[in-house]
Structure 1
Amino acid sequence: MRSKAGTYGGLSLAQRQTDRRRQLVDAALDIWGEQGWAAVSMRGVCAHARLTDRYFYESFADRDALLVAVWDQVRDETIARILRAIHSKLGEGPMTQLRAAIAELVEHLGDDPRGAALLFGEHTGSAALEQRRQQTLQQFTDLLVALAQPYLRPGADPVELRMSTLIGIGGFVELINAWRAGILATDAGHIIDHTARLGEVLAAQYLAGQ
């Protein structure tokens, strides 16, 4: 129902546009999680969201723009979850914080297969997603390196710290992919314990008192 100028059903034009964009992103995430990114199409997303084509182009220039928006949303939510887990353990030492971050991520991926399919799935064939994947790898590396700074021993080599962090993250991605594919017959708790122990091994040469 239209009320004052620019509003309909109690929502402004900007609010309705925001809602429609959210519907499109959620629809794309549903399709992506079930069938992979290549199955995401403008028409399929619009049909899933029950919106017409014109509303797609209200928010996105093309399919790549939508795919990137979906990726960014899941990445940002994932980073926020990790930071909350880390902050909940402030004052308990870097290894406790790292374990909390690993546990939060592994458990969340188990509960949210859509997000797991997006961040850990195959992106070959999409230049936009491959660029986002590489950027995200660097963002997670930057995050862990920055969080380690207060705990580093004097003279810790920053380049080697970054290399070790990249190795750790890359290995973790492959571990999760193998787990999701059923190659590893184990559970989330075992993944968390093993990854946390390896994190301690990698961190020992850089952290004070390790």
Structure 2
Amino acid sequence: MFQASSILKNAREDRELSLKEVSEKLKIPEKYLKAIEEADFKNYPKQPYCSLFVKEYADLFGLNSKNILSFFRRDSYQPQTKTNVSKNQNPKFFITPQKVFSFSAIFVVIFLSLYLVVQYLSFNRPPKLSVNWPDKESIRSNQTIITGQTDPEATVRINDDLIITDDMGNFSKKVDLTDNQDKITITSTSHSGKSNTKEMIY
């Protein structure tokens, strides 16, 4: 494989010129010419000077500077790739104000999203309803007391009669019974219109 460094060095030696002589002709520091010939990437001059020096070096010997520059860029790219790989193998994580702000913003968005989901589900679910049904055998009269608990914000109806609940959602009502089978229906309705119904026949 052709290498720009070898081509330039061979061209100079074929003409029996020293690096010092070439340096004087091109007005390029000898240390840079030596680095180019030895492919000493660490001591190359910064771009775009490095490419300009290679072009002038090639033009001095009548070489195709376009091809030489292509070889040079290819040769120079390889160690850079290795360096990048080496750096990527040991990534370092630094905490910056921007990262702290980004993480905080993400956390707030996630928290608000979860809160809204919980509130939505809570608003759209039927209210809880727990009823303490009296045992049929314990009823000795034509009346019985029905007690229970629901969500504090819910509206309770027993056989279509509106029942007042306390701050904890507890309710109680005396219900009249007949000699026939009586069906007692208790319905709890939330603000969103969702309802929960329980029934018992005495």
Instruction: Give the TM-score band, short-chain normalised.
Output: under 0.3
Q: Between Structure 1 and Structure 2, whose CA radius of gyration is higher?
A: 2
If each structure's strand is expressed as a fraction of its own residues, which one has the higher value? 2
TM-score by structure 2 length?
0.25
The structure with higher relative contact order (CA 8 Å, sep 6+) is 1
If each structure's helix is expressed as a fraction of its own residues, which one has the higher value? 1
